[in-house]
Structure 1
Amino acid sequence: MSSLFLRDDLAAVPHDVGDVVALHGDEAKHAVTVNRLRVGQHTSIGDGRGLVVHGPVVGASGSELTIAVTEVTEERMPGPSVWLVQALAKGDRDELAIQAATELGVAGVVPWSADRSVSRWAGAKVAKGVERWRSIVREAAKQSIRAWVPDVAELHSTRDLVRLAGSTRMLLLEPTASQALTDFSLDGEDAESDLVLVVGPEGGISVGELEALTRAGAVPVRLGSTILRTSTAGPAALAVLNARLGRW
């Protein structure tokens, strides 16, 4: 069974072919008790930043799992980077969006406190929410066997997004936009600039937010004639961009 586990300091320990790399703590416990890895089975250990070692398990206990390295791979993050700005949404819809976005190869996600967000992070909830999202993308990267774990930015306000729009190619997913995402040019002098997809909450991006962001340089684009939920709009747009960028 193919699987991936994470050790953040992998690059700092011996990890060449012939070395033995160990997992400890919760990662080892999950590998042994949940995934039921046993001696002789093959698995992979990565650092979440592109470095992955592969090999057979040579030791497995509740507190430690070790593999003998037979292959080392280093994967570069493809450019341009594609980020998802996901508005906070009620229930688990924002979490479903970032989980799917991770599986689809997003470089990072940005939690956004939009005008029409029903869910709100304030006080201690801000740090708790960011940490929750980091846990979700970490587990989704492992499940999809991604060499890169997406970054999770701090909570952004609309004012923060306006500043971000000035240094990136920002696309606002807006059903009423005149331009389709498939018609947006990915070429030109700024072809390597980061792409940032902005998805609003259940009620959509407000008129004031649309005006402020478009004045800052963001481009409204639509996906189709139907209205997608906030949990599916971002992943759908990422799938389109993956195809257009030649990643699929």
Structure 2
Amino acid sequence: MALHFLVESASDAVVGDVVSLTGAEAKHAAVVRRLRVGEEVTVGDGAGVWLTGAAEEVSPTRVEVRIARRSEHPAPSPRITLVQALAKGDRDELAVQAACELGVDEIVPWQAARSVSRWEGPKAVKGRERWATIVREAAKQAHRSWLPDVVAPASTRQLAERASSQRVLVLDPTAAVRLSEIEADGRDLMLVVGPEGGISDEELDRLTEAGAERVRLGDTVLRTSTAGPAAIAVLSVTLGRW
């Protein structure tokens, strides 16, 4: 399969144009992946534009790609949003990476009551940037035409407010309804995944009072790093993406 790269300038490129990869993208292509002149690659802008072309020049500082084909992919609908509670170690980062590869459309960091990790001040900015970098690399690996958004950390109150415009599904291992049993109704979906210690009763009450639905994946309890990606896989089948 051809290598895939993300370049903002891809938005305006047409067949016959040359798109340049520079900086980290060029170095990765030339040094890490050992791209050669004449090899086919794909280039996207992360917003639906998909270009296919061949490398005409390859160096660690610049890669030139002559575009042979262009297409535009519509944004997925309904959208799937993952609300991922902050977790210790790299568990939340593992969840973000896998969720992107599996097709999530938006990622919302959540400072849950039982989150061990805390994002405060400059750490919140750094944490969001870190997640955005993970998402970008995962999107390239998965050859995604749309790059998921990583938005600012949200509070439980803000999550409850989104229940008025989205269908909110809270993963709760004690819920009576299985995620695989729900039927799509056309609304965008927002999955809420708690931290290692689970979602507190107060948070569950606030979300359900706002209209959120409590659902479970199965009879076992998954780690916070695997629950979200597993749920996205289930929803991908429900929505007909897979």
The answer to whether the Cα contact below 8 Å between 2:82 and 2:190 also exists between their aligned partners in 1 is yes
**Map of 1:30-69 to 2, 5 A cutoff?**
30-69=28-67
Deviations 1:99-132 (A, max 9, x none): 0010111101000000000011011100000000
For 2:183 and 2:145, the matched residues in 1 are separated by 29
Q: Is the 8 A contact 2:5 2:42 kept in 1?
A: yes
Count of residue pairs the alignment pairs up = 242
- Residues 173-211 of structure 1: CA deviation (Å, up to 9, x unaligned): 000011111222313xxx2x2100000000111100000
2:236 to 228, 231, 242: 242
- Distance in 2 (alpha carbons) for counterparts of 1:116 and 1:165: 22
**Separation in structure 1 between the aligned mates of residue 170 and residue 145 of structure 2, nearest angstrom:** 28
Task: Please tell me the residue identity of whatever aligns with 1:211.
Answer: D
- Amino acid across the alignment from 2:235: L
Q: In the alignment, does 2:227 pair up with 1:233?
A: yes
Pairwise mapping of residues 31-180 of structure 1 onto structure 2 (< 5 A)? 31-180=29-178
Name the SS of the counterpart of 1:31 in structure 2: helix
CA distance in 2, matches of 1:82, 1:226: 23
Deviation at 1:72, TM superposition (A): 0.9
Can you list the C-alpha shifts for 1:66-97, whole angstroms capped at 9, x where unaligned? Answer: 11111112111221000100000011010000
SS class of match (2:8): coil
Matched, 1:19 2:17: yes
Which deviates the most, 72-81 or 204-213?
72-81
> Residue 240 of structure 1: CA displacement?
0.6
Corresponding residue number in structure 1 for 2:184: 186
Determine if contact 2:51/2:70 at 8 Å carries over to the other structure. yes
- CA distance in 2 between counterparts of 1:8 and 1:199 reads 32
Q: Secondary structure at the match of 2:195?
A: coil
Q: Residues of 2 paired with 1:66 and 1:22: CA distance?
A: 5
| Deviation at residue 226 of structure 1 after TM alignment | 0.2
Residue type of the alignment partner of 1:68: R
Question: What residue number does 1:7 align with?
Answer: 7
* 3-state SS, counterpart of residue 177 of structure 2: coil
Q: TM-score, normalised by structure 1?
A: 0.95
Query: What amino acid does structure 2 have at the position aligned with 1:220?
Result: R
Identity %: 56
TM-score, structure 2 normalization: 0.97
Q: Which amino acid aligns with 1:26?
A: A
Secondary structure of the residue aligned to 2:139 is helix
CA-based RMSD? 1.0
CA distance in 2, matches of 1:56, 1:11: 18
Contact 2:41–2:53, Cα closer than 8 Å, also in 1 = yes
